[in-house]
Amino acid sequence: MKLLIIKLMKAKIMYKGIPASPGIVIGRARISQHIDLDLYGQQVKSSRKSLLEEKACLESSFEKARRDLEDLREATFREQGETYALIFDAHLLLLDDPEVKIQVLNKIENENADAAYALASVASGYVSTFKSMSDPYMSERADDIRDVFTRVLKYILGIDTKSNIGHEENSIWVSREQSPSDIAALDKTKVIGIVTETGGGTSHAAIMARNMEIPAVVGLNGILEQVSEGDLIILDGSIGDVIVNPKDEVISSYMEKASRLKLQNSLYRSYVGRSTQTSDGYHVRLGANIGTIDDLDSCEKNDFEEIGLYRSEFLFMERAELPSEEEQYQAYAGVIQKLKGKECTIRTLDIGGDKNLDYLSIEKEMNPFLGFRAIRFCLERSDIFKTQLRAILRASVHGNVRIMFPMVSSLDELLNAKEILQICQIELEREGLKWRSGIEIGVMIEVPSAALIADILAKHVNFFSLGTNDLLQYTCAVDRMNPKVSHLYEPLHPGLLRLIDLVARHAKSAGIKLGMCGSMAHIPELVPLFIGMGFDSLSMSALHILPTRKVISELDLNECKKKLENVLILETASEIRKFLGSNESKLDGNV
Ligand code: PEP
Ligand code: MG
């Protein structure tokens, strides 16, 4: 197989992009007709009709684009829920921004420009401003701006915006860029895969593809030059491979791989409804990590036992201002009620790092991951923190809520956070508002200083949850976002495993609950070590729950403990990898 892949690479028919949505599909390339906003914006067209005609064309194209976006919002709301539909609210806001239209009209009037050029040059100016922002979240918004105004441009140019993409069975959509509205408009019964030249794994479009379970590979620069309409394509969205016009033997090897995956998935499905325990009866709870209420469908499908991490910051994104206490209360209560008594660990606001809220105008930082983030932000902006805590407390009457503080690095921070929580409780009591008494309070252990004082922190909380995505980056001093050092982002680093073991021992001797919600929780080779350390719960993206349940069911507690002892005396990651028989298991980002 390895030889075959090397041969393929030489023949230049195999390309590697960024895996954005898992799954293997084989289909025909359908090339998306591309209109380049930037190119239109660089040249003055000399074909301006009368001023009135250009203005009328502009107005009607804006109007048609608006109707499209409203329809897309409606369809997305029906099929994918409110959170994804909000993307189109943001697009409508962009479309309605009076500033953009004024600038375009000025260009038509003062520069003798036609509507297409005027629109394209103003819009591409906005695109490049956003693109140049160093904050990855903001720079990805450039795609939204391009999406909205390319739609208007197509109407000005008289190009059908409902392209032929997806009108044929087994289509693999190949395009320069992905936009949420393009993806929402796909005929999902016909489009089986997506390949794009641009984009990253955290863009809205990638999130939507995952949500719709359409395999996707993004960031495959230059692929449009290699693929023609109707070419046969194999797409492996789990590892980012795209193979163009493969030979028969390659097709059969991928078909085999796909059917093995299918078989494997149906084997995993046989673990639905089973309890999670080792062969000798040691129970572990398997939780799901969610960002919004819409993620609960996938949790249900994958038989989750609890929500081990509710990333509350998603509620603060994709909007123009902070959510009010009432709005937050409704959102938390909605999730909690849907859980029907299952435990829900709500993590308080973790913004900063790679997650910025532009409406708060927080100053740019040299090292945002080491800066004004999570609990540090909340303790300084106690107004925002209190609003959230009050909303969570009020929502707690609807079910089984736990509160968890992120990025704590000292006892003082924890005590301050708890004090603010107490103030909120006193206020609510005074106002005659209810909350559930006895809510468990926990702390994420994701900063080495917190891990090293775990015995001290344990006296003040009911549980720990290991945030290994950050604990790894801070312990090994490796930026989790920087591909240049990604080879050093090593979950098997003996220093990290020793640190996790230390935290586990402190949690056990203090008698508090011990969980993990970072991406290491589902690495099959590491799960036995976590069982050996005595973890009570592991939380992960819903897709990993059933495979992890299978792994655990095949373990024996005493053997896990022995394995752990052996691992903790090894000196390097590669020794540990060899000992665990790991086949290059990789973390899959922050899912
Ligand atoms: C972690 O750091 O492991 C974690 C779960 O939090 P996040 O990925 O949201 O930073
Ligand atoms: Mg974290």
Which ligand lies nearest to the CA atom of residue 520 in the structure? 1
Phi, psi at 78, each rounded to 5°: -65, -45
User: What is the residue with the minimal CA distance to atom 6 of ligand 1?
Assistant: 467
Catalytic member of 91, 204, 522, 544: 204
DSSP 352: B
Question: What is the DSSP annotation of 541-579?
Answer: -GGGHHHHHHHHHT--HHHHHHHHHHHHT--SHHHHHHH
Q: Is the pLDDT of residue 118 over 80?
A: yes
pLDDT tens figures, 507-555: 999 999 999 999 899 999 999 999 999 999 999 988 889 999 999 999 9
Burial zone of 383 (CB within 10 Å; 0-12 exposed, 13-18 middle, 19+ buried): exposed
Spell out the residues 6+ positions from residue 398 whose beta carbon is closer than 8 angstroms to its own: 333, 336, 337
* Strand 18-21, strand 440-445: pairing: unpaired
Could you identify the atom of ligand 1 that is nearest to the CA of residue 309? 5
User: What is the residue with the minimal CA distance to atom 8 of ligand 1?
Assistant: 590
Task: Taking residues 77-85, report their average pLDDT.
Answer: 73
Task: Taking residues 115-131, report their average pLDDT.
Answer: 84
Could you identify the atom of ligand 1 that is nearest to the CA of residue 590? 8
Q: Is 517 in the pocket of ligand 1 (CB under 6 A)?
A: yes
Half-sphere exposure of 11 (CA within 13 A, CB side): 14
Could you identify the atom of ligand 1 that is nearest to the CA of residue 311? 9
Kind plus residue range of the DSSP H or E element containing 267: helix 248-269
Which ligand lies nearest to the CA atom of residue 515 in the structure? 1
Kind plus residue range of the DSSP H or E element containing 298: helix 296-301
- For residues 170 and 193, what is the distance between their CA atoms, to the nearest angstrom? 8
Look up 506 and say whether it is catalytic.
Answer: no
The pLDDT of residue 117 = 85
With CA atoms as reference, report the closest residue to 419 among 366, 466, 460: 460
275 contacts 557 by C-beta, under 8 angstroms: no
515 contacts 537 by C-beta, under 8 angstroms: yes
In this predicted model, which residue has the larger pLDDT, 439 or 364? 439
Catalytic member of 57, 378, 424, 517: 517
Could you identify the atom of ligand 1 that is nearest to the CA of residue 466? 3
The pLDDT of residue 166 = 46
Q: How far is CA 429 from CA 389, 425, 437, in A?
A: 14, 6, 12
144 contacts 90 by C-beta, under 8 angstroms: yes
Q: Is the pLDDT of residue 360 over 50?
A: yes
The pLDDT of residue 157 = 82
pLDDT tens figures, 13-48: 889 888 888 889 999 999 876 677 766 666 655 566
The pLDDT of residue 541 = 85
Which residue type occupies 532? G
With CA atoms as reference, report the closest residue to 505 among 478, 532, 483: 532
Q: 10 Å Cβ neighbour count for 554?
A: 10
Look up 91 and say whether it is catalytic.
Answer: no
Q: Is the pLDDT of residue 269 over 80?
A: yes
Average pLDDT score over the chain = 87
Question: What is the DSSP annotation of 146-205?
Answer: HHHHHHHHHHHHT--SS-STTSSTTEEEEES---HHHHHTS-TTTEEEEEESS--TTSHH
The pLDDT of residue 43 = 63
Q: Is 308 in the pocket of ligand 1 (CB under 6 A)?
A: no
Alpha-helix residue ranges (DSSP H) falling in 81-97: 82-96
Which ligand lies nearest to the CA atom of residue 313 in the structure? 1
322 contacts 316 by C-beta, under 8 angstroms: yes
Global pTM reads: 0.71
Q: Is 355 in the pocket of ligand 1 (CB under 6 A)?
A: no
Q: Is 241 in the pocket of ligand 1 (CB under 6 A)?
A: no
Kindly report which listed range (149-153, 273-277, 380-384, 571-575) carries the lowest average pLDDT score. 149-153
Q: In percent, how much of the chain has pLDDT > 90?
A: 53
Q: Is 311 in the pocket of ligand 1 (CB under 6 A)?
A: yes
In this predicted model, which residue has the larger pLDDT, 10 or 72? 72
Q: Is 446 in the pocket of ligand 1 (CB under 6 A)?
A: yes
Confidence of residue 164 (pLDDT cuts 50, 70, 90): very low
Kindly report which listed range (119-133, 196-210, 275-289, 514-528) carries the lowest average pLDDT score. 196-210
- For residues 550 and 60, what is the distance between their CA atoms, to the nearest angstrom? 57
Kindly report which listed range (319-328, 427-436, 455-464, 565-574) carries the lowest average pLDDT score. 319-328
The pLDDT of residue 122 = 87
With CA atoms as reference, report the closest residue to 209 among 80, 68, 86: 80
Kindly report which listed range (184-193, 381-390, 542-551) carries the lowest average pLDDT score. 184-193
Task: Taking residues 291-297, report their average pLDDT.
Answer: 86
User: What is the residue with the minimal CA distance to atom 1 of ligand 1?
Assistant: 467
Kindly give the distance from the C-alpha atom of residue 589 to the centroid of ligand 1, in angstroms, as a whole number: 10
Kind plus residue range of the DSSP H or E element containing 463: strand 463-466
Kindly report which listed range (144-148, 234-238, 441-445) carries the lowest average pLDDT score. 144-148
399 contacts 337 by C-beta, under 8 angstroms: yes
Q: Is 469 in the pocket of ligand 1 (CB under 6 A)?
A: yes
290 contacts 314 by C-beta, under 8 angstroms: no
Could you identify the atom of ligand 1 that is nearest to the CA of residue 467? 3
Q: 10 Å Cβ neighbour count for 114?
A: 23
Which ligand lies nearest to the CA atom of residue 496 in the structure? 1
With CA atoms as reference, report the closest residue to 306 among 402, 396, 446: 402
CA 183 to chain centre: 17
321 contacts 287 by C-beta, under 8 angstroms: no
Kindly give the distance from the C-alpha atom of residue 467 to the centroid of ligand 1, in angstroms, as a whole number: 5
pLDDT tens figures, 469-497: 999 999 999 987 676 787 898 999 999 99
- For residues 269 and 276, what is the distance between their CA atoms, to the nearest angstrom? 14
Task: Taking residues 177-182, report their average pLDDT.
Answer: 69
Q: 10 Å Cβ neighbour count for 579?
A: 14
The token pair that represents 425 in the structure block:
């409780």
Kindly give the distance from the C-alpha atom of residue 270 to the centroid of ligand 1, in angstroms, as a whole number: 30
Kindly report which listed range (64-68, 100-104, 562-566, 579-583) carries the lowest average pLDDT score. 579-583
Task: Taking residues 203-210, report their average pLDDT.
Answer: 66
pLDDT tens figures, 314-348: 888 767 789 999 999 999 999 999 999 999 999 99
